Amino acid sequence: MQIGEVAAMTGLSVRTIRFYERKGVVKPSARDANQHRLYDDETIHWLSLVGYLRQTGMSVKALADYYELIQQGPATLNARIDLLQAQRERVVERMAAQKEQLWQIDHKLAHYQDDLTKYV
């Protein structure tokens, strides 16, 4: 599959996929006779995962490190687990902070609702 089709399937832009290639996050599976990038199903699946991991705040550098670990095979399973667990912890911390932020907003909304009943 060519890069435009992959972009449509993954929700990533062609520019983003090319950026990820330059940063070592992904490599095309092959190139056709015209030197167009080709991607197989495994690479498409990986790019979809990359999109989700970026949404969690994982850095491009960490994604490149993760990709390199995957390329090295099963001997790196513990390192991959460590990398993902560290990212999970960051997500949990952000969720806790967002929960507090939501509470603050809800508290202020309740205050204004009370004011409405007093003054209206």
Closest CA to 77 of 86, 66, 87: 66
What residues does each domain of the chain span?
3-119
- How is domain 3-119 classified at the architecture level of CATH? Orthogonal Bundle (1.10)
Q: What pLDDT, on the 0 to 100 scale, is given for residue 119?
A: 84
Distance CA 5, CA 18 (A): 13
Provide the strand spans (E) within the chain: 30-31, 37-38
Amino acid of residue 57: G
Element (H, E) at 116: helix 77-119
pLDDT tens-digit series, residues 69-114 = 999 999 999 999 999 999 999 999 999 999 999 999 999 999 999 9
DSSP state of 23: T
- Name the percent of the chain in helix, strand, coil, to the closest 5: 75, 5, 20
Distance CA 54, CA 80 (A): 16
